[in-house]
Amino acid sequence: MDKKSMVADLAALVTAESPSSDLGAVDACADVVADIGERHLGSAPERIHIDGRQHLRWSFGAEPKVMLLGHFDTVWPLGTLAELPWSVTDNIATGPGVFDMKAGIVQLFHALASLPSLDGVVVLLNSDEEIGSPTSRALIEEQARQVDAVLVLEAAADGAVKTARKGMSLYCVDIEGRAAHAGLEPERGVNAVVELAHQIQAVVELADPAAGTSVVPSVISGGTTTNTVAAQAQLWCDVRMWSAKEQERIDRSIRALTPALAESRISVSGGPNRGPLESVSSEKLYFLAHQVSSESGLGMLRDCAVGGASDGNFTAAVGTPTLDGLGAVGGGAHAATEHGGGAHAATEHVEIDQMIPRATLLAGLVTRILEGGL
């Protein structure tokens, strides 16, 4: 593997801005990804169009065994390059999406290019991960059911692979009251904002910090004018948990919410978005990756559990062993660290010198899986 070639590929990807919401930009980036992939893998990808979006898939051999999963969309709006330009200084590369997760895509291509045969390998790169993978989720789950293992190229916190991720649920609680004039006849009204306050307290009490379950009221709205008893209110809740059991408990409880005020009505929509990636799904793959790292002279491979979700949650939920965090070395999501860049943060960057070691680890892990290591 060649570092100079890796950096050149990374520059091409980062400068092809790809905010999830801009389909034209995402399509243009897909062309760049496809070109780089074809050059390294020897074949063009299948372009899968779903609801106006395109996703890229390479499949090798008749019997798929391992899927390498990633995404080429980013959270950065078009034009971010003017403020956060692509650059390489010493060992640090910066630019929008460099850490999450374009460096991981580059490492993926170079790792696979080093293998003598790709029979049994599937590469799936989607364009809507940052917005919850609404068009690609079914595709990801279908492909995951056909393989023995999934390796996710999301970035790694200080090099630690992710053996567990919290699941995520998202709920909207709509509240209907009855409007009345706040000064003339407030008693005729049913205040949806007051009901909202009761429901916020009810959902907050569902959290279980000891179990790692958080319930966060994140967005609220209600009322129309200052002199009117509010007839409508709305609450959005973000829920995170380590286990499917906890996700089910919260789902039952939120759907069972009842009004605190007479004559007010509530309705609940939404639900589980991603099931937890529990450690039981990753333990065999982590053990195998740990062996590969030691045997390749890469040192001890560490693992971690994180609260953020990824498409690896989908693959684990369908029962396929999944190991995440095999991408670029950097910092934690949404925050800068001394060892790398935070995903979605204005200091987003990766350590160039870690790209070849990470690609070497990936190549070795893929080889062991293809040889029947699981």
What residues are labeled active site? 73, 129
SS (HEC) of 38-50: HHHHCCCCEEEEE
Distance CA 279, CA 286 (A): 9
Identify which of 72, 53, 68 has the alpha carbon closest to the alpha carbon of residue 124.
68
- From the centroid of its chain, how far is CA 82? 26
Beta strands 66-71 and 149-152 are parallel
- Among 331, 345, 304, 321, smallest CA distance to 149 is for 321
Give residues with Cβ within 8 angstroms of 366, minimum separation 6: 66, 68, 111, 112, 115, 121, 151
Strands 87-89 and 156-157: unpaired
Characterize the bridge pairing of strands 349-351 and 92-94.
Answer: antiparallel
H helix intervals, 22-155: 23-41, 103-113, 137-144
- 150-152-158 Cα angle (round to 5): 135
User: How many CA atoms lie within 13 Å of 125's alpha carbon, on the beta-carbon side?
Assistant: 28
